[in-house]
């Protein structure tokens, strides 16, 4: 199986996938830590893929999405974006709407708390 095949399989098999440096329990960069932190705080169930563990996946996800940076968030097969986009979407409420529209469970109160803390 090629890296692209593995990426496609992961994205199809999981509602939410985060390609990141490190793991959701131990992120290895600040940007990955921020996105994983948001998802963890919101109680979202997601698959984390540590791109540092596989150079083919690390390059493959960039080729697959045509997006040059890590982390990369996918929701129901759709590429959402990286750290800045996820942060903006969280603060604007767009991430809530995306999760609602896609049927992804998350803690709405936690999302409101993030916005209140950053108002």
Buried b / exposed e across 7-17, counting CB within 10 Å, b at 16+? beebbeebbbb
Question: Where do runs of H (alpha helix) occur along 1-119?
Answer: 3-13, 30-42, 55-65, 83-92, 94-102, 108-117
Q: Report the binding-site residues for [2Fe-2S] cluster.
A: 29
Q: Report the binding-site residues.
A: 29
Q: Give the pair of three-digit tokens for residue 101.
A: 């529209």
Distance CA 43, CA 33 (A): 15
Q: What percentage of the chain has pLDDT greater than the value 90?
A: 98
Domain boundaries, the chain: 3-113
- Over 90: is that where the pLDDT of 119 sits? no
List of residues 6+ apart from 19 with CB closer than 8 A: 7, 49, 51, 57, 61, 70, 71, 72, 73, 74
Domain 3-113 has CATH 3.40.30.10: yes
With CA atoms as reference, report the closest residue to 98 among 86, 110, 115, 112: 86
Q: Give the pair of three-digit tokens for residue 22.
A: 């490190």
Query: For 13-65, how does the pLDDT look when each residue is reduced to its tens digit (9 = 90+)?
Result: 999 999 999 999 999 999 999 999 999 999 999 999 999 999 999 999 999 99
> What is the residue whose two structure tokens read 């759709």?
78
């Amino acid at each position: 199986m090629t890296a692209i095949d593995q990426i496609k399989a992961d994205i199809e098999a999981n509602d939410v996938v985060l390609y990141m440096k490190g793991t959701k329990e131990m992120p290895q960069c600040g940007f990955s830590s921020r996105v994983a932190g948001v998802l963890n705080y919101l109680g979202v169930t997601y698959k984390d893929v540590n791109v540092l563990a596989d150079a083919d996946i690390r390059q493959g996800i960039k080729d697959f999405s045509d997006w040059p940076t890590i982390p990369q968030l996918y929701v129901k097969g759709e590429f959402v974006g990286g750290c800045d986009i996820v942060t903006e979407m969280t603060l604007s409420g767009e991430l809530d709407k995306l999760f609602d529209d896609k049927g992804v469970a998350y803690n709405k109160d936690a999302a409101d708390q993030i916005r209140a803390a950053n108002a």
